[in-house]
Amino acid sequence: MKCHICHNSCDSFIDEKKKIRYYHCDHCEYIFKSPEYYQELSAQKERYNLHENDENDAGYQAYFQRFLDFILPLTGDPKTALDFGCGATSLLCRMLEKEGMACDYFDPIYHPETLIDTKKYDIIVSTEVFEHLHQPREVFESLLERLEEGGYLALQTQFHPNDREAFQKWYYHQDPTHIVFFTVRTFEVLCRIYGCELIGDNGTNMVVIRKQQHSA
């Protein structure tokens, strides 16, 4: 199996508990579940509806605040934002609006009609989305296309331990809707492919990427 990120060939291993096959790329450290475990959107929606994302919940706000506290010092003074894969509610969007940005949101399940194809943004945020994507490289590329030159892509997804024994015990891949897994290295490789720059990561679950500015 070829890596869906860097197209090098991958080794595979079996999760002992669930007997699921995973592919692991040595080059970019991407790990993905064998595609027969990928779920349709309708099945994913049932699972997401179980998530209790009450937007008035102080814990949920604090959770997004930790994300903003990490990314905003790295991303200049953005005026326009897109929350890609916001889920049922747009709490993060409203928090970005409080920071002075005009924010749009999109979710393939809950708000599928809200994306304007020609619009470009200073920053795109996407939290707990990439681990669900069948084709993360293609989505990464399409998000870069929606960014202004010099714009920022800020992502949150839990980085895997890049150790097969530790991976088996890792909680994050137990969720059946979590199908693909990254490390900072995976995002560095993506940045190299698309000519952008990884300007910061927090070592556990957040990266900030800057789209290249074309010189005149």
Residue 36 DSSP class: G
- Residue 4 CB, shortest distance to Zn ion, in Å, is 8
Residue 182 within binding range of Zn ion, rule CB under 5 A: no
Residue 5 within binding range of Zn ion, rule CB under 5 A: yes
Task: Name the nearest CA neighbour of 75 among 23, 150, 147.
Answer: 150
Contact 182, 176 (CB under 8 A): no
Could you give the CA distance from residue 30 to residue 4 in angstroms, rounded to a whole number? 8
Residue 191 within binding range of Zn ion, rule CB under 5 A: no
Our CB check for Zn ion shows the closer of 25 and 124 to be 25
The interface region with Zn ion, picked from 4-12, 117-125, 128-136, 205-213 by CB under 5 A, is 4-12
DSSP SS3 for 182: strand
Tell me how crowded residue 180 is: count the other CB atoms within 10 A of its CB: 25
Could you give the CA distance from residue 5 to residue 23 in angstroms, rounded to a whole number? 12
Our CB check for Zn ion shows the closer of 11 and 197 to be 11
Residue 152 within binding range of Zn ion, rule CB under 5 A: no
Our CB check for Zn ion shows the closer of 30 and 84 to be 30
Residue 187 within binding range of Zn ion, rule CB under 5 A: no
Residue 86 within binding range of Zn ion, rule CB under 5 A: no
Our CB check for Zn ion shows the closer of 121 and 187 to be 187
- Residue 135 CB, shortest distance to Zn ion, in Å, is 14
Binding to Zn ion (CB under 5 A) within 20-39 occurs at 25, 27-28, 30
Our CB check for Zn ion shows the closer of 27 and 120 to be 27
- Residue 145 CB, shortest distance to Zn ion, in Å, is 22
Our CB check for Zn ion shows the closer of 96 and 155 to be 155
Long-range contacts for 206-210 (Cβ within 8 Å, ≥24 apart)? 206/67, 206/70, 206/71, 206/154, 206/155, 206/156, 207/154, 207/155, 208/70, 208/71, 208/74, 208/75, 208/152, 208/153, 208/154, 209/152, 209/153, 209/154, 209/155, 210/150, 210/151, 210/152, 210/153
Size of site (CB under 5 A) for Zn ion: 7
Residues forming contacts to Zn ion in the complex (CB under 5 A) are 3, 5-6, 25, 27-28, 30
